Amino acid sequence: MELKNKKWTHDEFYAIREEVLTHWPTGKDVNFEEAVKYHENIPAKRHFAKRLVKAKKNGETLTQPRAGVALIDEHINLLNFLKNEGEADLLPSTIDSYTRQNQYKEAQNGIDESLKAGRSLLNGFPAVNHGVAGVRRVVESVDAPLQVRHGTPDARLLGEITIAAGYTSYEGGGISYNIPYAKSVSLEKTIYDWQYCDRMIGIYAEHGIEINREPFGPLTGTLVPPSVSHSVAIIEGILAAEQGVKNITLGYGQCGNLIQDIAAIKALEQLAEEYMAKHGYNDCVLTTVFHQWMGGFPQDEAKAFGVISWGAATAALAKATKVIVKTPHEALGIPTKEANAQGLRTTKQMINMLKDQAFPMTTELELEINIIKAETRCILDKVFELGGNDYAIGAVRAFEAGVLDVPFAPSRFSLNKILPARDNNGAVRLFDVGNLPFTPDLVTFHQDKMAERAKAEGRAPSFQMVIDDIYAISKGNLVGRPR
């Protein structure tokens, strides 16, 4: 395995593919030529990439939930319920935890036990075990664009089966599905394995089949500064484009300050277009996804709807292409289908009320966009330099050096030196910038913001601010003020 950001040849891809399809017996049913013919007949209204392109052209913000259960018929019923009762524009198949860890035997046990119990005993849809035929039943029973959402470091077989079955969008990436999800999986391996997924989708593109790819934007979902998540998203976008992917959605997780969140979506799209063009990827369609608050939620459902509504309003005002919707059961565990639909309808109502309103380009918004862009450029350019003009190699070296660093990540390959906290207006700043390669004026900017909050609260800047902010929203606030 030699990691580098270079398009794999067909020989390189197919040599590995032969082994990947043996990881579970259902791999033998993957037939690329048949899959291409099947995709050619998928109507535009059920095609993820085409629906996103239409939304971007029309200035729409589409809604999408998370959802997945163990058994095929129940999963079909769940998705149709969310489409009909939740008014969802786009639908997911969220994959179970066993499949995410390539533990297909345990996933099969979960299916068997779910059949006995008459209800799902898995926290998602075990697509690998159901195989191409089973997964295609879902595709043919749901009249909406479908995406695979998961959290899988090695998602090669999952990708082969679900795309062959007719799914038109695939989430994840070698960084974003490793650092926030795994403890001891090397970045070299996950970036390499995700190059396989991207090359597979690139080969579909060579046959005229456009599959949407979406790196996972929120990372750990806890006070992640925009420049950190943007850097990972853009790197993963570039790695996908190099392998031939033509339709890419880049994501961002809500931080909570309206100005910062709108600025983040605008800066993400502008920076992605800038860096894609800079490196010669001029034929990619780029869209954005805004994730409603990914941190702790209030247990009270009425308060949870407040958090959901704020995320919906922000997504609409930021003009994100789509929004990933939370539920009022977020603090309690896996939601009922009714609660999931409630979150969707709440979000749809907010989007419809705000779709004709434009957020003005104020001095404050422009300043925030410029700050995010400056920080992100510092990181991206240093990653490129560390890799000897290669983002794949650079990403590995950047995490080793702390040039890329994700707060509160379980991975031992992330230094976890940066400490985020909110400023006095609730925007996410850095209490400790760690080894991020910021210019002195950017470091001073963060120090000044923390000092301003500390003065307002009558306390010294400290780690306690970080702790207070982690729990603030679940306790009914944005900023974790001292009692």
Q: Which of 51, 100, 156, 429 is catalytic?
A: 100
Is 199 marked as binding a ligand?
A: no
> Packing angle between helix 440-457 and helix 463-472, nearest 10 degrees?
80
User: 100 an active-site residue?
Assistant: yes
Q: According to the annotation, is 429 in a ligand binding site?
A: no
- Closest-CA residue to 174 (of 154, 158, 160): 154
Q: Would you call 429 a catalytic residue per the annotation? A: no
- 334 is annotated as contributing to ligand binding: yes
Q: How far is CA 204 from the centre of its chain?
A: 22
Question: Token match 């919707």: residue?
Answer: 325
Ligand-binding site membership of 130 (annotated) = no
Q: Which of 121, 118, 124, 131 is nearest to 160 (CA)?
A: 131
String of DSSP letters for 235-261: HHHHHHHHTT--EEEEEEE--S-HHHH
Has 171 been labeled as part of a binding site? yes
- Asked whether residue 297 is marked as a ligand-binding residue, the answer is yes
Pairing relationship of beta strands 62-64 and 146-149 according to DSSP bridges: unpaired
The DSSP H or E segment spanning 262 is helix 258-278
How far apart CA 449 and CA 461 sit, in angstroms, is: 10
Q: Is 181 annotated as a binding residue?
A: yes
Judged on CB neighbours under 10 Å (0-12, 13-18, 19+), 61 is buried
Angle between helices 10-20 and 156-165 in degrees, nearest 10:
100
Phi/psi for 193 (5° steps) reads -65, -35
Give the sign of the dihedral formed by CA 93, CA 97, CA 98, CA 101.
positive
One-character DSSP codes across 347-375: HHHHHHHHTT------HHHHHHHHHHHHH
Count of H helices and E strands in the chain?
17, 10
| 242 marked as binding residue | no
User: Which residue among the candidates 60, 171, 214, 269 is catalytic per the annotation?
Assistant: 171
**82's tokens:** 């969310």
- 16 a known binding residue? no
66 is in an annotated binding site: yes
Is the C-alpha dihedral spanning 198, 200, 203, 204 positive or negative? negative
> Cα separation of 180 and 135, whole Å?
27
Residues forming the annotated binding site for adenosylcob(III)alamin? 68, 123, 180, 297, 326, 330, 334
Residues forming the annotated binding site? 66, 68, 100, 123, 149-150, 171, 177, 180-181, 297, 326, 330, 334
Residues forming the annotated binding site for L-glutamate? 66, 100, 149-150, 171, 177, 181
Residues with catalytic annotation?
100, 171
